[in-house]
Chains A and B, each alone.
Chain A
Amino acid sequence: MRGARKLKSAIIVFPGSNCDRDVKVSLAAASGTPPVMVWHRDRSLPKVDLIVLPGGFSYGDYLRAGAMAAHSPIMAEVMDAAGRGTPVLGICNGFQILAETGLLPGTLMANATLKFICRDVHLRVENSSSMFTAGYRTGDVVRIPIAHLDGNYHADAGTLDRIEGEGRIAFRYCGPDGAMDDDTNPNGSARNIAGVFNQGGNVLGLMPHPERLADAQLGGTDGMVMFDSLVEALG
């Protein structure tokens, strides 16, 4: 039953975060425990099972999206915790921040169209063996919204080959039928990549917003599966 297991989580709030409360609602619903909100200037993290870096425009995307937040005081703690194996989920701006810290490979460049894109996209689940994706099946096609200007995933060919070989692609953009080509790639991402894991499998960054389709009343629950998976694995 949803909410039967308790998952303790912390959501890091940066100046300019704007999806922190959305992900709080989703995690509270999945875990039965309200997440702790941690201000970016704090220098200590409560003991939690999961850390979330939410979407938004931390520091107004100054210099590069995520670049300033990556050096926020709390990020040293987040990086230490990630190094010790604490699960970290970065959504949209959170993914950009994780890429800037080097916790995740590659970087997020401006969309190939140079336009801000806000719409539902389809994703193919590439690896359902992680704590983040265990509730999906590999090959599932799910519908989750994106809302970003800088979501064009880029890494050099050697890095792409390596993370593919290691099963570190979590999601790829695709069509409703799972077809993957340039037409179903909204932002120009290398090899249609929408989300990647770190080497240890305890850090996931993705551009789509699972917290935005996590309630049937809001049009879908494909995103809720991720939060339920985390509660199942860590609660």
Chain B
Amino acid sequence: MKARVHVTLKDGVLDPQGKAIANALGALGFEGINQVRQGKVIELDIEESDPKKARLAIDRMCDKLLANTVIEDYTIELNG
């Protein structure tokens, strides 16, 4: 089964990269941008085919390694 993990900064955690992207977009002439927050996407291909078990396993992967839960939140998206 394939899965996609979205790792984003928690609300309230400053995101200097997002701010720099917003500034760059403004400099390129894109108007009306209130805020940009950036994060990362991690794609996984795992053996597990049971969605419940897969979600549980990926949850553990996120807590242990994929996200730093001091500053980051994550969401898990399962595909097939």
Which residues of A pack against B, CB within 8 Å?
A: 63-64, 67, 71, 99-100, 106-107, 109-114, 154-156, 188
Per CB-CB distance, the 5 closest pairs between chain A and chain B, nearest first, are: A107-B70, A114-B16, A112-B16, A107-B68, A107-B71
Asked whether A154 lies within 8 Å of B16 as measured between CB atoms, the reply is no
Q: Does B17 contact A (CB under 8 A)?
A: yes
Contact B17 A110 (CB under 8 A): yes
- Give the residues in chain A near B17, CB-CB below 8 Å: 110, 114
A155 touches B68 (CB 8 A): no
Q: How many Å lie between the Cα of A63 and that of B65 in the bound state? A: 9
Contacts of A107 in B (CB 8 A): 68, 70-71
Chain B residue at minimum C-beta to C-beta distance from A157? B12
In this complex, what residue of B is CB-closest to A100? B68
Query: A residues within 8 A CB of B66?
Result: 63
Cβ of B46 within 8 Å of any chain A Cβ, yes or no, is no
**Which residue of chain B has its CB nearest to the CB of A114?**
B16
Convert B6-29 into 0s and 1s, putting 1 for each residue whose CB lies closer than 8 angstroms to a CB of A: 000000011011001000000000
Q: Is the CB of A106 within 8 A of B16?
A: no
Complex CA–CA separation, A9 to B68 (angstroms): 30
Contact check: which of A64, A99, A106, A188 meets B14 at CB < 8 Å? A188
Q: Which of B37-80 contact A (CB under 8 A)?
A: 64-66, 68, 70-71
A188 in complex: contacting residue of B16, B20, B64, B70, CB < 8 Å: B16
B16 lies within 8 A of A67 (CB): no
| Other contacts beyond A110-B16, A156-B70: 18, CB < 8 A | A63-B65, A63-B66, A71-B65, A99-B70, A100-B68, A106-B70, A107-B68, A107-B70, A107-B71, A109-B14, A109-B71, A111-B16, A112-B14, A113-B16, A114-B20, A154-B13, A188-B14, A188-B16
Minimum C-beta distance from A52 to chain B (A): 23
What are 12 A-B pairs with beta-carbon distances under 8 A? A63-B66, A64-B68, A71-B64, A71-B65, A106-B70, A109-B13, A110-B16, A111-B16, A112-B14, A112-B16, A114-B17, A188-B14
Q: Which residues of A contact B70 (CB under 8 A)?
A: 99, 106-107, 154-156
Which residues in B have some Cβ–Cβ distance to A below 8 Å?
Answer: 13-14, 16-17, 20, 64-66, 68, 70-71
Find out whether the CB atom of A67 lies under 8 angstroms from the CB atom of B68.
yes
Nearest chain B CB to A158 CB, angstrom units: 12
Q: Which of B20, B64, B71 contacts A154, CB < 8 Å?
A: B71
Q: For the complex formed, measure the closest distance between the CB of B45 and the CB atoms of chain A, giving whole angstroms.
A: 18
Between B64, B65, B70, the greatest number of chain A beta carbons within 10 A of the residue's beta carbon is seen for: B70
Distance (whole angstroms) from the CB of A154 to the closest CB of chain B? 6
Q: How far is the CA of A155 from the CA of B16 in the complex (A)?
A: 16
How far is A154 from B20 in the complex, measured between Cα atoms in Å? 19
